[in-house]
């Protein structure tokens, strides 16, 4: 038996335990915890997966993460993944979850964020290269073909959170049409 994960339903409620490889093969929902890392200046960590990685070899991503173990919360899994992949001990802040169709199989994605104030020590089995980029640079990178496809949807949802909702005043203070909503799609 391989890596065991919680099998969850359409409402992200645990309904059983399944081998992760089987969950992927059969399209069974399970949980993935991700972490968005920022530095004290607000830049985002971007990394490239190793060319020999099982999932998304050589592709770029703006999130770290992996499957939540059986009985493990999104937050616990995010903290564990942060330690395993960057050697950083921290408690990432939960941001949101959403059901991701997934390029490989569907899953529930729990997104967290953390500000990194220490030196990172990337695990070479998970990260071949990394750098810190501005939000504008990240928005451009995410659209490139070499980026992990699921990361694009997560980035769009993350950006939606920072956009104001409802009518917004223009430079003169006049209210114009509503901005795009940050809530689900």
Provide the residue-wise pLDDT of the chain in tens; the chain has 185 residues.
689 999 999 999 999 999 999 999 999 999 999 999 999 999 999 999 999 998 899 999 999 999 999 999 999 999 999 999 999 999 999 999 999 999 999 999 999 999 999 999 999 999 999 999 999 999 999 998 899 999 999 999 999 887 655 454 444 444 443 333 333 33
pLDDT of residue 1: 66
- Spatial distance between the Cα atoms of 155 and 179, rounded to a whole number of angstroms: 18
**Are the C-beta atoms of residues 119 and 139 closer than 8 Å to each other?**
no
* pTM beyond 0.75, yes or no: yes
What residues have CB less than 8 Å from 11, skipping those under 6 apart? none
What residues have CB less than 8 Å from 115, skipping those under 6 apart? 37, 38, 39, 40
């Amino acid at each position: 038996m391989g890596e065991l994960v919680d099998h969850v339903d359409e409402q992200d409620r645990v309904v059983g335990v399944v081998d992760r490889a089987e969950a992927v093969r059969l399209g069974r929902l399970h949980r993935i915890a991700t972490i968005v890392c920022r530095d004290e200046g607000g830049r985002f960590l971007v990394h490239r997966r190793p060319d020999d990685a099982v999932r998304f070899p050589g592709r770029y991503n703006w999130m770290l993460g992996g499957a939540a173990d059986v009985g493990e919360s999104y937050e616990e899994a995010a903290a564990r993944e942060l330690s395993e992949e960057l050697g950083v001990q921290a408690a990432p802040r939960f941001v949101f979850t959403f059901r991701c169709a997934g390029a490989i199989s569907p899953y529930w994605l729990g997104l967290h964020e953390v500000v990194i104030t220490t030196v990172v020590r990337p695990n070479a089995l998970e990260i071949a290269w990394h750098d810190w980029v501005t939000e504008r640079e990240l928005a451009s990178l995410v659209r490139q073909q070499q980026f992990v496809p699921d990361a694009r949807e997560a980035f769009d949802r993350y950006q939606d959170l920072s956009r104001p909702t409802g009518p917004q005043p223009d430079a003169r203070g006049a209210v114009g049409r509503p901005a795009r909503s940050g809530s689900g799609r």
